[in-house]
Amino acid sequence: MKTRKLYAPSAFEAGFQAIRDELDIPRAFPPEVLSAAETAVDRFADIRSDRRDLSLVAIDPPGAMDLDQAFYAEAITDSAAAYRVFYAIADVGAFIESGDPIDLEARRRGTTYYSPDLRTPLHPPTLSEDRASLLAGTDKPALLWTIDLDVHGAPVNVMVERSLVTVREAISYTEAQRRIDAGINASLNLLKKIGTLRQIQEVKRGGISLNLPSQEVVERNGTYDLQFDTSIPVEGWNAQMSLLTGIVAGRKMCEAKVGVLRTLPSPRHQDLRRLRREAEALEIPWPEDQSYPEMIRTVTPDSPRKAAFLLQAARSFRGAGYVFIHGELPQLSEHGAIASHYAHVTAPLRRLVDRPNNEVLLALFAGIAPGPPLIADLEELPSQMGKARSRESAFERALVDYAETMVLSGRVGQRFDASVVSLHEKRDLAYIQILDPAIESSVPLNGHQLGDRITVTLAEADPVSRTLSWE
């Protein structure tokens, strides 16, 4: 019987820390930042609307403390609108001023870095896990988005304001799905209804949603292991609320021609032609009269050929970034996968750009032009976020590479069933996927084709270099 060598958590965690040090991910906050966080107060406490009447619910992974969002929805009777979405966003900006120690450190970090063993937060835990977090059962400052939708799920009226809210409870995705399936919560039932309508709207816009599982390092049975994540429907409906908010935010910025947009080039015509050829080669149906957004939603990664096609589809999107706008729109201002203007505004505890963007939108919805200091802060954000995203991507890849070698280091010489999910002919490589354990690696091309099922033998697993070799 094949066995798997299980390492103590400390062996993994030493490697995780080495990666953090290699990429200059901070171990701690400077004393002046911690001191500033301890004394920070809500600068807008006196002007908040009182919306503690709303039965807001936060949906997050179990144990999460940095809660950025909470949701509530109701059906309404209006000449234009059928549904009203209340989306509360943590108002961390109320505790931070431009140029203060917390702001300067956040700009150096750019984002929260998630490791299997710990979290390196964007802001000190005093804020990100306490006073600014939308923890349940206590009054919290929030940026409250109120979005009215018509019967088709299209926005007809939008407002954002600083409010005082009380999140009724924080529940897991699994619990949210259970309640929706049982039909016992009207607001969560509307999350399903509105989320489904927004998914239909996404297809009509030409948006692309890929059912491609991602590789995860997870803690299990006293050690760490690898798996491919599996999502449940409520995760998609909940994500649509964040997308909805980001879309209306991006559109407002474009109307005023000020803000920072999240951008991504759309697939080129030659990319779509290539995908059609690959679908045909992989024997995946794609009728001539079916659009790419419609077709891709029908593909699930339940076979090697489908998984290979989804990976090729994901690689047709390249060049995601941020763009500062002030006075005119650049040539690339839309997000190709979302098929709309779009801005990051829903995760200010975990992502730098959201906080200044929300300040822009608060001004715009109040009929006020953002001031020069805020404009100056915005102009620096694309570069700051670009650096943070690059470091985050390198960090995530290094963590997975290290975990792969640790999990497999006791299995050199063993054979594994694999699927060919991508080809890199210039480098003479075929990229493979192994389901158990969840491994993504590469082998010599050797005439392999997309979707092939092959057997490979592990020749080397080196945690120091974070590399695997196969025969």
257 lies in the same domain as 132: yes
Of 366, 388, 406, which residue constitutes the final position of a domain?
406
pLDDT per residue as tens digits for the range 12-42: 999 999 999 999 999 999 999 999 999 999 9
Predicted confidence at residue 417, as pLDDT, reads 94
190 lies in the same domain as 258: yes
170 lies in the same domain as 214: yes
The total domain count for the chain is 3
242 lies in the same domain as 342: yes
Q: Are 104 and 38 in contact (CB under 8 A)?
A: no
Of 364, 380, 406, which residue constitutes the final position of a domain?
406
Within a domain: residue 324?
yes
- CATH code of the domain in which 441 resides: 2.40.50.140
Within a domain: residue 2?
no
250 lies in the same domain as 355: yes
Burial of 374 (0-12, 13-18, 19+ CB in 10 A): middle
251 lies in the same domain as 153: yes
Identify the domain containing residue 433 by its residue range.
409-470
441 lies in the same domain as 466: yes
Q: Are 167 and 88 in contact (CB under 8 A)?
A: yes
- The lowest-confidence range among 45-59, 241-255, 306-320 is 306-320
Within a domain: residue 1?
no
205 lies in the same domain as 61: yes
159 lies in the same domain as 280: no
Within a domain: residue 3?
no
396 lies in the same domain as 427: no
Q: Are 54 and 2 in contact (CB under 8 A)?
A: no
Q: How far apart are CA 429 and CA 471, in angstroms?
A: 13
| pLDDT at residue 1 tops 50 | no
188 lies in the same domain as 286: no
pLDDT per residue as tens digits for the range 200-233: 999 999 999 888 777 888 888 777 888 887 789 9
Residue with tokens 């804020």: 127
Give the pLDDT mean for 405-419. 94
Predicted confidence at residue 361, as pLDDT, reads 99
119 lies in the same domain as 61: yes
Q: Which two tokens stand for residue 358?
A: 């929300």
